[in-house]
Amino acid sequence: MQDETRSQFQQRIFDRYFDSLVRYAEARLGRRNRRVADGEDVALSALGSFYERYGETSIRAIGSEDSLWPLIVTIVHRKTLNQVRREAQLKRGGGDVRGDSVLSELPVKAEVRWDSTPDAVVESLETVNRLLSSLPPDLAEIANRRLEGHTNAEIAALIGCSVATIERRLKLIRSIWTQAIV
């Protein structure tokens, strides 16, 4: 180990442990928390912290790579717990932030028609305009940009706020629209 460079050591540790660390982290994150960070994110962060804190020491002081596993898995475990706690905070949606697939769950009064007749297009545009007009201007801007196909990250950059803020506002928009449709 002493003749090995730091980058060779880091690559060997990565190759040996990364896949197991990803599986470990994903098992602890659960399905809800993977929207923001998945097992790979947590494992990469943990290995980065390990390299930063123990990298130089490890090359010289650690006798066996097998003794690294408990240390690295402890780092992954703590980072996973921190991620779950962070996403459960109320300011981040209290763990209830959901993606755009929720829009497909909105109840619809009338039967949805996907034909492209002029009347259907006009009716669809009227419905969209009615829903957009039911929103305050700041929310209408977000909804309009989302309908134009912008991602949450793009909208956040355009408006000058965080992605989490956009996700919370989209949740509010869905709530307003659900009440307007029902």
> In the numeric block, which tokens belong to residue 144?
């309009």
With tokens 């996973």, the residue in question is 80
> In the numeric block, which tokens belong to residue 30?
């659960």
- Nearest alpha carbon to residue 21 among 57, 53, 54, 45: 45
Task: Provide DSSP, 53-93.
Answer: HHHHHHHHH-S-GGGHHHHHHHHHHHHHHHHHHHHHSGGGT
Q: Which pLDDT tens digit goes with each residue over 13-25?
A: 888 889 989 888 8
Residues of the chain falling short of pLDDT 50: 1, 110, 112
Cα distances (Å, whole numbers) of residue 95 to 4, 59, 83, 122:
44, 40, 11, 38
Q: Which pLDDT tens digit goes with each residue over 41-81?
A: 888 888 888 888 876 665 556 656 667 788 888 888 888 88
Taken in order 165, 167, 169, 171, is the CA torsion positive or negative?
Answer: negative
Question: For residue 88, what are the contacts with CB-CB under 8 A and spacing of at least 6?
Answer: 94, 95
